[in-house]
Amino acid sequence: MQRVIEGDSYKHKGLRVDLCNLLRQRGITDEAVLAAIGRVPRHLFMDRGLDALAYEDQALPIECGQTISQPRTVAFQTQLLAVRKDMKVLEIGTGSGYQTAVLCELGARVFSVERQKGLYDVAKARLAKMHYQAKCFLGDGYQGLAQMDYGPYDRILVTCGAPEVPQPLLRELKLGGVLVVPVGDGEQEMLRIVRTADEEWETTRCGDFRFVPMLEGRQF
Residues carrying an active site annotation: 69
Strand partners, 113: 92, 137
Number of residues that bind ligand SAH (CB under 6 A): 23
CB of 137 to ligand SAH, least distance (A): 9
Residue with Cβ nearer ligand SAH (15 or 75): 75
Pick out residues in 11-40 that bind ligand SAH (CB under 6 A): none
Pick out residues in 44-103 that bind ligand SAH (CB under 6 A): 66-69, 92-93, 95-96, 98-99
d(CA 212, CA 178): 22
Residue 19 φ then ψ, to 5°: -60, -45
Q: Which stretch binds ligand SAH (CB under 6 A): 26-34, 111-119, 168-176, 191-199?
A: 111-119
Buried/exposed 98-120: b ≥16 CB within 10 Å, e otherwise: bbbbbbbbbebbbbbbbbbeebb
**159 lies in the binding site for ligand SAH (CB under 6 A):** yes
**116 lies in the binding site for ligand SAH (CB under 6 A):** yes
Residue with Cβ nearer ligand SAH (129 or 175): 129
Q: Which residue is nearest to ligand SAH (CB)?
A: 95
- The answer to whether 130 touches 79, Cβ cutoff 8 Å, is no
d(CA 168, CA 182): 16
The helix or strand, by DSSP H or E, that contains position 15, with its residue range, turns out to be helix 10-25
SS3 call for 70: coil
DSSP 219: B
Q: Answer whether the bond into residue 152 is a cis peptide, omega within 30°.
A: yes
Q: What is the per-residue binding string for ligand SAH in 188-207, x denoting contact by CB under 6 A?
A: --------------------
118: phi > 0 → left, psi -120 to 50 → alpha, else beta; which?
alpha
User: Which spans of this chain sit near ligand SAH (rule: CB under 6 A)?
Assistant: 66-69, 92-93, 95-96, 98-99, 113-116, 119, 140-142, 159-160, 212, 214-215
